[in-house]
């Protein structure tokens, strides 16, 4: 059973950089895309970005200028950095595995999020 | 970006009821539509993928249908553990977008 375990700083001040890591257990990064998704308190889900094991990425253009995602295949981990945070970035952040019949070939249409991390609450406050 | 609109936003129902939740896309997404259930304080859980395929381990009372722009999630006989918030999500393109959610609670 694949497990995703997340961690990172929970309280930030405005203008600081959010940094989160997601470790994948009982599974490989290879053959999948791995996403970051966030959920402001009491609100819906917003997709941030995704990456595969070789570093191919897709970003939400609304956040792209502030986001960096990366993978460390030696540690079976992925990371998210979000620069210049504001209160609007306060949210529960999830990592999730993107699965689908064509994902291994780099085609992410017809895909779905089948495993999720437990979530990491990040609060931005002065 | 493809906008996903769910209706209703909230719904009260009783155990044993048949429940339907709708999701409309702002353009055709063929059948690249997924459904998730979220309980408070928990990550979303995949229920249905590509509009009508039941994820392994999900009870058969859950079903999905639709194509193009209009999709439906149906719970044939509501159980106590089915209460929570349901989200649709399109996988036609990026950015991957979700509906605003439908909160299902006990009448």
Task: Note the pLDDT of residue A102.
Answer: 83
Q: How far, in Å, CA of B1 to CA of A46, rounded? A: 12
Stretch A6-13: mean pLDDT, rounded? 93
Question: Would you call B95 and A112 a contact, using CB atoms and an 8 Å cutoff?
Answer: no
CA angle B96, A23, A123 (to 5 degrees): 65
**Percent of chain B surpassing pLDDT 70:** 100
Phi-psi region of B68 (alpha: psi -120 to 50; beta: other; left: phi over 0): left
> Least CB-CB distance to B96: which of A47, A62, A116?
A47
Task: Note the pLDDT of residue A105.
Answer: 81
Residue entry with tokens 């210049």: A84
Q: What values do phi and psi take at A64, rounded to 5?
A: -55, -40
Which tokens belong to A67?
């986001």
Q: How far, in Å, CA of A50 to CA of A122, rounded? A: 19
Per-residue pLDDT band for B97 (boundaries 50, 70, 90) equals: very high
pLDDT in tens, B17-55: 999 999 999 999 999 999 999 999 999 999 999 999 999
| Mutation site for A-interface testing, chosen from B3, B95, B102 by largest number of A Cβ within 10 Å | B95
Per-residue pLDDT band for A107 (boundaries 50, 70, 90) equals: confident
Which tokens belong to B45?
């859980």
């Amino acid at each position: 059973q694949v497990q995703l375990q997340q961690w990172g700083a929970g309280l930030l001040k405005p203008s600081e950089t959010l940094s989160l890591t997601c470790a994948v257990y009982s599974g490989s990064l290879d053959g999948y895309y791995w996403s970051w998704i966030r959920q402001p308190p009491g609100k819906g889900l917003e997709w941030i970005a995704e990456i595969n094991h070789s570093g191919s990425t897709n970003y939400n253009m609304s956040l792209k200028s502030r986001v960096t995602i990366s993978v460390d295949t030696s540690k079976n981990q992925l990371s998210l950095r979000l620069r210049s945070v504001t209160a609007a970035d306060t949210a529960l952040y999830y990592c999730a595995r993107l699965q689908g019949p064509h994902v291994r070939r780099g085609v992410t249409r017809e895909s779905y999020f089948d495993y999720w991390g437990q979530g990491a609450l990040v609060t931005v406050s002065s | 970006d493809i906008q996903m609109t769910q209706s209703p936003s909230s719904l009260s129902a009783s155990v044993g009821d048949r429940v339907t939740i709708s999701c409309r896309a702002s353009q055709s997404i063929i059948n690249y539509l997924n459904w998730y259930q979220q309980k408070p304080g928990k990550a979303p859980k995949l229920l249905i993928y590509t509009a009508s395929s039941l994820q392994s381990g999900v009870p058969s009372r859950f079903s999905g249908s639709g194509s193009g722009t209009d999709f439906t999630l149906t719970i044939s006989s509501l159980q106590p553990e089915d209460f929570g918030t349901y989200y649709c999500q399109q996988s036609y393109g990026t950015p991957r977008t979700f509906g605003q959610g439908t909160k299902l609670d006990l009448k």
